[in-house]
Every structure is written in C-alpha cells, then in structure tokens.
A and B are shown apart, each in its own frame.
Chain A
Amino acid sequence: MLSLDKFPPGCKGVVDSLDLSDEAFRRVAAFGLIPGSHFNLTRCAPFGGPLVLEVGSTRFLLRRSLASLIQVRVAE
C-alpha cells in the first residue's frame, strides 16, 4: 500500500482508503474515486504539479497534496 502521490505514472491501481474531510471526500467521490475503484495514473506534471487520473472514462487532474491523503495499491 502506498499513497497516490508516490504511485508510478502509467500504472493501474486500486483505491484502498481516503483520509479526507467530508467535503474533500465528496469532491473526490464525484470523480469516481472511492474505496475499491480502479484507476489509471496517466501522467504527472513536472515541478510538483498535479497528477492526471483516469477512472472509467473520466480523466481529471488532482493535486499531489490531495493525492498524498489517498492510499492505493497496484492492481494485479
């Protein structure tokens, strides 16, 4: 298990847990990121910029600071 900001780009993973406030959780959940959901980390912006994630057919960006609060594992 590792946090999403340490996840290798180009790999697929599964969300384990989200250590977020109620408000942040709703925002993240609206993009389909909830425990058990599969994702694909497509790219990371340079200089500590945001990550681009794919959940289902939805692609979105989120900041590393937020990603560090999301625990994930590599999908088998």
Chain B
Amino acid sequence: MKRFALLGLPNTGKSTVFNRLTGMSQRVGNWPGLTVELTSARLLLGGKMVELVDLPGVNDLTGYSDDEAVVRDVLMSTAFDAAILVLNAAQLDRQLPLALQVLASGIPAVVVLNMADEARLLGITLDLDVLRQRLGVPVVLVSAKRMEGWPALMEALNRQAASAATASHAQLDRVPETQDAIMQARAKLAACWNLPAVLPEGMTEKVDAWLMHSWLGLPLFFACMAVLFNLTYQIGTPLQGLVGDGLDWFKTAALQQWLAPLPAIVQSLLLEGVWQGVSTVLTFAPILFVFFILMAMVEDSGYLARAAYLTDAFMAKLGLDGRGFVMQLMGFGCNVPAILGTRVMRERKQRLLTMLIIPFSLCSARLQVVVFFAGILFTPQQAPWVLLLLYLLSFVVAIFTAWVFKHRYRGNEAFLLEVPPYRLPGMRHMLIRAVAEVRAFLELASSFILMGVVLVWLVSHIPAGDNKTLADVLGTVMAPVLDPIGIKHELAVALLVGFVAKEILLGGLAVIYGVPEAGLGAALLHHLDWASAMSFLIFTLVYVPCLSTVAAIRRESKSRAFTALSVGWSVLLAWLISFAFYQGVHLLR
C-alpha cells in the first residue's frame, strides 16, 4: 500500500481537502511509535490503495512548536510515497516557504493551491504554468469548498500514485532555514503571483467593523456565546432526554427480563453497575455531537479568531489566550466538550492550563444539584442570589487556579493567530468531523466510565461485616478528612457517586437515606444542618466534575500525571473552601 502525507499551514482548508478526498472512511488513531493521534483514511488512487495521513497544520518545518515537532517526527520515522501540500492561493507569499522546505526534503509532492475563489475575489493573478516549471512538481489550483478544479487534482494524484518509485524518508537536514526559504519563495513567485496594490474591501471588513468594534465587540461576543450556548442545550438536551428514555425503556422492557434468571447480586451488578455506566456514556453523545457542529461553525466561520481578539487582554493576564475564554464559557454547559474543544489551541502548555480551569465551570449537571440544594436550604427570594454567588465562586476558583499555575504552564508570548476572512462553513465537513469526534470520545470514555461505575457499585455492595458495606467503612475511614468540613460519614459514598457523574448524585443521596427522590429534600433537612449541607454543596461544586471529564482530560493531555494533578488539585481546593466555609460559620455562631 502507498502512503501519502497531507501537509499545509493551519487554516488552508487542508481538512476540507482531506474530507473531500476520503469522506466518512477516516479514522483517528495513535501513530505507531509516537504518542500522537493522527487522522488517516484509505482511498483508491491510480489503481492503487493509498493511505492518506492528515498531518497537523504547520508554518515551518524547522520550527519549535509542538505540531512542527510532530510533523518532523512523523516524516522522519515513516516513509512516504508523496506529500500533498495544501496552500492558500491568496497567501502564497507566506505559504510557499513551507512548500519549498517540503520539496527540499526530497519527498515527491503535489502542490494544491486551495481557495481559488478567494484569490479571484481579491484580484490576485497567478501564472500556474510558470510556477509549475519553477517548482518542478505538479501544481493544481482548486477550491475544495466548491470542488472547483477537482478533475485536475484527481489526475495529478492518480499519476503520483501510479508511479513506480519506492517510498522515501524525508531528509530533513536538506530543509532550508526559515529565512532562506522565504527568500527562495520570493524568487519563485516573482512575476508569476501578484497581489493588487490595494485589496478590494469585502464583506469581512464590513462585518468586522461591528464584531471587532472597540466597545460593541464584547457585548456582541457575549450575545453570540449566549446564542451558541442556548442552541447547544435547546437542541442537545431534548436529544439527550430521548436517548435517556430509549435506554431506560430498553432496560425495563428487555434487559431486566433477560437478566431475571440470574442471581440478584449479579443482576444488580449488571443493571446498576454496567448498564448505568453504558447509559451515562451514551447520553453524552447527542450533546457532544451538537457541540462539535456548533464549535466547527464558530471555528470555520472565522469568528473564533475575533473572540480571541476581544478577550485576549483579560486572558493574557491569566497566562491564557483568548480562545481559552470561549472554551471556559462552553464549560458552563458541559465540561467534556469544552475540554475536547481546547484542541483549537495548538500549544501544549496553553491547552493544559485551559484544561486545568475548565472543570471549575459550573456545568449543567452540577447546576441541577445546586438548584435542588438552594431550593431546600433557602427561601425562594434568597435562592437566585445563592445561585449567582456559586457561579461567581466557580469563576473565582478558575481564575485562582490559572493564577497559581500560570508560571508552570506559561504560554508563549509570541501568540499570533490568523484572522481569516469570514467563510461559510461546509455542512458536510462539519458532520464528518462531529461524527469522528463523538466516536473517538465514546471509544475512550466507555471503558473508563464503566470501570468507575462498577467500582462504585462494588464499594456500596461488598459486605464488610456487621451488616455494613465497604461504603460504611469508607465513611469511617474518611472521618478525619470529612469531619473538619462538616460532611457526614454516610455522604462519603455520595461524593464517590458524584465523582462518576453529578447527574446521578441526587439519586445516590436518595438511596443513602432510603427515601424516594421526591422525599429527598425533607430527608436532607432532617439529617443535615444548614452549614454541613452548604459545605457538601460547595465541595460538590468544586471537586472533579465527573469521570467523563477526567476521561476527556486523560485523552487530550495524554498524561496520567497531568490528569492526576487536575483531579488532586480540584479535590484539594474543594476541601479547603469547604473547610474555610464550615469553620467560618462555626466561628461566627
């Protein structure tokens, strides 16, 4: 089988080209020998099977960024038959240097000049034949979005795949340095690629006059985020409900009957353990799917760069960049997609710092718990203010975390981000991407969450003598930690349940007090005093949001140590804040 690499700068429509060529057949997987995930797909070109590997977008083959290192590692460790180089035809002045670096490395290449439509609109003139001659490789002009120039591209690719040459490793020592490559590119482009002296003013400038306005920009940004946020839940939550109902129906209509012949303890393990885990993971799928579609819209339309522009002043002080703010806000809906969404940040340290603060966003599952507690502990007049205070608490904790860790995960000051012209996102492209993302998440989370749910089941069902279970023992063992923050021993297992998912926390509490969920409020008031109930609530808000978030952090950081840090830090903070609150209340009394 032949192997082709897809290379290009960020924002050149490289993944659109990839999707157009491969469709739904793509898969995300670990690259052998390296700890990176790459998307690849197989397609038939020139009568041969070709594996096309989508490499991360890079500016410079000799650069220091994480993505640049990944591309170098892959090119060095793997032999490729050809590179497909995707460049933005409207920006050849800054994009051709990368092409020259790739050509110098000795890998046969096909140069694809994408965004022909935008170049035309800008009045750019291009002599394709001269450029082809000067580069000595096939050059085609396309618009991947409109499938313009596609026959020529397919012909070039077919010819490349049919060639008898054997695959070769890139010779990176032959790659020219940045400045040399820029000078060479200038010479190659002289008199064959021309930008008009004055660029025509288009839609983008008119829209930006509003969206990037000095004082209207931010309110419009928050309005956009509010719409986005609402759409995610207006569309996602009913879908989530449907999936949940479907799964429940399956459980009562089929599963329970099938399992009926089994001993009660096995039934309980399968239903309350395994099945609970499966359904927890599956109910995430609709919301993730909707989120990825909407996020792709924000990113592909070019708005994300505007959002970064507007919020960067504030985020830079926290050691973050403007894109982190968008993710932090999305976290208020659900932390899991927000963590996965940090992928738009290509710098590892920035991503890690952002991933560290997202779990403090008060997500909709925790909101349920907060609303419930606020409802029983406070009067209807007080409750909304308590809710607001808790939202503020989550912001303060996030900012504090960023402040503590900003030196450790210091981002690069040399933060540059392209502000692309506004583009209509392609529907097909978004769908393909969302499906791939959701699938990749489910594959990982299923095993992770299943383990967690089964563990909780075991703890609360394994007998430990005296009519007690491990859960009771756990409460006693944890007493030195729980007593100073006023959390009753029987709630230790509730915290464990909340660790798996906040959605099942209230149900867990009802089981602990042996009441139906409707009677939970009264039961809690009976068993807990005001201060310890609030302390429990604060702890619930600040510590680990759920196992799915932990799974997402593990997947995205690819580091156990970082995942442990994230979990440990949030538990520690939760304990400290609850401690300060509970002891403070006692001092005041």
Contact = CB atoms under 8 A, between A and B. Distances in A.
B182 A24 contact: no
The secondary structure that dominates the A interface is mixed
A61 interface: yes
B124 interface: yes
Interface stretch (B330-338, B416-424, B487-495): B416-424
A56 B91 contact: yes
B308 interface: yes
B199 interface: yes
Nearest to A34: B182
B265 interface: no
Contact of B417 (A34, A46, A61, A65): A61
A58 B412 CA distance: 21
Contacts of B413: 24, 63, 65-66
Contact of A60 (B178, B316, B416): B416
Interface string B402-443: 000000000011111111110000000000000000000000
A3 to B, nearest CB: 15
A65 B195 CA distance: 30
Contacts, number: 111
Given A28-B414, A60-B416, A45 B312 contact: yes
Contact of A62 (B62, B65, B179, B415): B415
Interface in B522-556: none
A59 B418 contact: yes
Contact of A26 (B62, B313, B421): B62
Interface in B120-148: 122, 124
Interface string B301-315: 000010011101110
B133 to A, nearest CB: 23
A27 B151 CA distance: 35
Given A43-B212, A45-B312, A58-B91, A23 B60 contact: no
Contacts of B215: 46
Contacts of A59: 418-421
Interface string A50-71: 1010011111111101100000
B241 interface: no
A50 B62 contact: no
B94 interface: yes
B178 A49 contact: no
Contacts of B62: 26
A63 B417 CA distance: 10
A30 B63 CA distance: 10
A45 to B, nearest CB: 5
Given A29-B179, A60-B419, 9 more contacts: A20-B414, A23-B414, A26-B178, A30-B178, A30-B416, A50-B308, A50-B313, A59-B420, A62-B416
8 contacts: A26-B178, A27-B65, A29-B60, A47-B314, A50-B312, A57-B90, A57-B124, A61-B308
Interface of B: 9, 59-60, 62-65, 90-91, 93-94, 97, 122, 124, 178-179, 182, 195, 199, 212, 214-215, 305, 308-310, 312-314, 316, 322, 412-421
